[in-house]
């Protein structure tokens, strides 16, 4: 294991200390618990949006807490859920009279803990709604059982924009639902990553192999085989996405090319170029493109392609809403 760390068991808390110190006045923690990550710039009367999940996916999840995006994040250990109590404590801090949207990935532990936190809130008269990201097409044929991966960024963006426009809790939920309904992702890994406290990779790939459809925790994909070219990978990924969610000629999409951690930005743009060629050939217009690391798996090499179909002008406004967090800024 080659990582710049101190003790593996301190990985998450050491990281959090660095983040808080680097971003004073922007984010803070409550209840004397580093894992209760909250905005330091609460806006009264706004629907609060809280996410959460395991460490190891930066900027997912906590990186999207900030202006016009999210208000809090429960931080679990590496690839572990935050506790219900932590989510509840964050909820008490960031709620400001308009209710809370819980928006996180479709993973069993997270669902259990967010649901418990929701019950605790409701007992105190705080209204909550919940929605999970489940955009990873290759993870299951059943849409409701799919894992949430990089496409959750579009849900954060939509819900964050709606909330910052002072919309109601149900309207914010509706924006998140619309982004979810229109978003699909396909990902693939070239190398594994190492959980610090485990110390070795949980799977192996040969020197010339890739894993199509692999999850961001190393969940098995649909095939392991010879590394393909950027053009071939883009073509297979878009076939998968567009068979699951047809996009007609003339329709517009948002495109997210996401690096899993160890893949260079140069390669992400090469892949973006391959995707542009295919979409252009189909007459599908790209309204806005996002390229970079949006949801990683520590030092895993690989990438994912997310497409969000744009079905209304409002979706464009949500995409274009300026945001500013310690990890992601858009003007």
Q: How far is the CB of 223 from a copy of itself (least distance, A)?
A: 16
Q: Which of 42, 217, 228, 316 is catalytic?
A: 217
Measured from the CB atom, the residue of 84 and 216 that comes closer to a copy of itself is: 216
Q: Which of 35, 46, 57, 146 is catalytic?
A: 57
Measured from the CB atom, the residue of 85 and 299 that comes closer to a copy of itself is: 299
Please confirm whether the linkage preceding 242 is cis (ω < 30° from 0). no
Nearest to 234 by CA among 186, 292, 195, 282: 186
Measured from the CB atom, the residue of 298 and 319 that comes closer to a copy of itself is: 298
Contacts of 193 (CB under 8 A, 6+ apart): 56, 201, 218, 261, 297, 298, 299, 300
Q: How far is the CB of 22 from a copy of itself (least distance, A)?
A: 4
Q: Locate tokens 């808080």: which residue? A: 20
Write the DSSP string, 249-309: TT-EEEEEEEE-BSS-HHHHHHHHHHHHHHHHHHT-EEEEEEEE-SS--TTB-EEEEEEEE
Q: How far is the CB of 198 from a copy of itself (least distance, A)?
A: 15
Q: Where on the chain is the footprint of a copy of itself (CB under 8 A)? A: 2-6, 11, 14-19, 21-23, 55-56, 58-59, 63, 190-191, 207-208, 210, 227, 229-231, 233, 261-274, 276, 289, 291, 293, 296, 298-299, 301-303, 322, 324, 327, 329-331
Give the C-alpha separation, 54 to 66, whole Å.
19
- Coil, strand, or helix at residue 157? helix
User: Is 57 an annotated catalytic residue?
Assistant: yes
Contacts of 284 (CB under 8 A, 6+ apart): 247, 248, 249, 250, 251, 252, 253
Is-contact 230 267, C-beta < 8 A? yes
Q: How far is the CB of 270 from a copy of itself (least distance, A)?
A: 5
Give me 220's structure tokens: 């098995």
Measured from the CB atom, the residue of 312 and 329 that comes closer to a copy of itself is: 329
Q: How far is the CB of 200 from a copy of itself (least distance, A)?
A: 11
Measured from the CB atom, the residue of 15 and 245 that comes closer to a copy of itself is: 15
Give the C-alpha separation, 64 to 55, whole Å.
14
Measured from the CB atom, the residue of 22 and 112 that comes closer to a copy of itself is: 22
Q: How far is the CB of 267 from a copy of itself (least distance, A)?
A: 4
User: Is 217 an annotated catalytic residue?
Assistant: yes
If you compute the radius of gyration of the chain from its CA atoms, what whole number of angstroms results? Answer: 19
Q: Which amino acids are annotated catalytic?
A: 57, 217
């Amino acid at each position: 294991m080659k990582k710049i760390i101190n003790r593996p068991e301190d990985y998450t808390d050491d990281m959090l200390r660095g983040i808080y110190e680097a971003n004073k006045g922007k984010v803070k923690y409550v209840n004397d618990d580093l894992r209760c990550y909250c905005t330091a710039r609460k806006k009264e009367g706004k629907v609060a949006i809280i996410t959460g999940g395991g460490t190891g996916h930066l900027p997912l999840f906590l990186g999207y807490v900030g202006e016009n995006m999210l208000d809090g994040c429960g931080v679990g250990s590496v690839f572990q859920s935050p506790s219900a109590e932590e989510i509840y404590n964050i909820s008490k801090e960031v709620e400001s009279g308009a209710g809370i949207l819980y928006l996180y990935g479709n993973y069993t532990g997270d669902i259990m803990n967010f649901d418990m936190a929701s019950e605790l809130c409701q007992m105190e008269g705080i209204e909550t709604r919940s929605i999970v990201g489940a955009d990873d097409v290759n993870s299951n044929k059943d849409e409701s059982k799919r894992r949430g991966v990089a496409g959750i960024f579009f849900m954060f963006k939509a819900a964050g924009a709606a909330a910052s426009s002072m919309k109601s809790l149900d309207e914010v939920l509706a924006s998140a639902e619309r982004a979810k309904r229109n978003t699909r992702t396909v990902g693939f890994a070239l190398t594994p990553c190492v959980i610090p406290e485990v110390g070795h990779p949980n799977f192996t790939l040969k020197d010339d192999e890739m894993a199509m459809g692999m999850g961001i925790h190393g969940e098995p994909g649909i095939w392991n085989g010879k590394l393909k070219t950027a053009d071939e990978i883009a073509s297979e990924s878009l076939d998968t996405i567009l068979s699951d969610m047809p996009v007609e000629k003339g329709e517009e999409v948002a495109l997210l090319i996401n690096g899993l951690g160890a893949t260079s930005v140069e390669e992400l743009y090469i892949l973006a170029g391959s995707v542009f060629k295919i979409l252009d050939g189909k007459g599908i217009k790209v309204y806005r493109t996002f390229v970079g690391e949006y949801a990683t798996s520590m030092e895993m090499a690989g990438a994912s392609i997310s497409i969000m179909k744009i079905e209304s002008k409002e979706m464009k406004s949500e995409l274009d809403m300026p945001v500013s967090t310690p990890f992601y800024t858009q003007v």
